[in-house]
């Protein structure tokens, strides 16, 4: 298969119970599948409000093991019924450890494996280091519908190393579930343009499509999530995009064979000089 149809979901996820949020995502997943989407991307941690705005140990109760998480269970059933793939973001409990995790659900409703978020932010409104250990899986890619996809999680998307690593592992499309919005410490700082430009850069420098799904709406402490979900082609051009308020499904179809030829023609991977990049892995 040379074509792949992808979707990004955008919606508010501030209902007080997980079942309502999961049901809202389910409705949009069904709409995406009806439009022909094969890989459908919900936002980050979509079973509830973004709880990392503050440090509260009671919120560790929201975490579940992979085989007990309600969002993963619901999306497995949905993927199997619709014959689609879904990268499912959830708060994982693994023994005494807690992670921000993707369960990659395939069209049979099986979990191909997990990816644990590598880059963990720590700042006003995004106190994730209190809740999550840095991921220990390394970057991951997945084979679905004859294509290979890479999935990062939110803060990962600001790092070109993450995108390039997945590309070097054979990814043909990059997916980023996200929860990002206003900066509580600076009401004048709007990162939505930078956020999209960073990922457009990944699309251009790796010559492959990028799919980003973000939430919308006002949540705890008045923090507003700014949406602007999008899908770009391998040139970084928007194929579908939302603003800050729309609820719905973005869909685009890509000819991956053409993208592969374009990628070869640009020469970015041919002209790499890994022997010059050792500074990138020095921890200082």
Q: Which residues are catalytic?
A: 44, 117, 154
Q: How many residues would you count in the chain? A: 284
């Amino acid at each position: 298969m040379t074509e792949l149809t992808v979707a990004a979901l955008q919606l508010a996820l501030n209902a007080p119970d997980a079942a309502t949020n999961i049901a809202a995502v389910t409705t949009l997943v069904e709409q995406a599948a009806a439009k022909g989407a094969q890989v459908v991307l919900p936002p980050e941690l979509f079973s509830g409000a973004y709880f990392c705005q503050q440090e509260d140990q009671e919120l560790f109760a929201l975490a579940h093991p992979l085989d007990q998480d309600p969002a993963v269970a619901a999306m497995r059933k949905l993927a199997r019924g619709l014959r689609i793939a879904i990268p499912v973001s959830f708060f994982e409990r693994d023994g005494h450890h807690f992670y921000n995790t993707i369960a990659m659900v395939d069209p049979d409703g099986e979990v191909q494996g997990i990816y644990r978020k590598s880059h963990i932010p720590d700042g006003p409104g995004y106190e994730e280091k209190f809740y999550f250990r840095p991921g220990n899986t390394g970057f991951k890619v997945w084979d679905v519908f004859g294509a290979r996809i890479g999935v990062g999680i939110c803060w990962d998307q600001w790092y070109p190393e993450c995108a390039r690593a997945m590309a070097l592992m054979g990814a043909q499309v990059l997916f980023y579930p996200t929860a990002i919005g206003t900066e509580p410490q600076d009401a004048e700082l709007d990162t939505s343009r930078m956020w999209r430009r960073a990922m457009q850069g990944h699309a251009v420098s790796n010559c492959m499509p990028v799919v980003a799904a973000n939430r919308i709406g006002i949540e705890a402490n008045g923090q507003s999530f700014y949406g602007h979900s999008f899908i770009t082609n391998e040139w970084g051009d928007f194929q579908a995009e939302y603003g800050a308020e729309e609820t719905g499904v973005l869909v685009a179809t890509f000819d991956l064979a053409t993208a592969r030829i374009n990628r070869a023609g640009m020469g970015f991977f041919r002209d790499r000089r890994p022997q010059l990049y050792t500074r990138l892995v020095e921890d200082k």
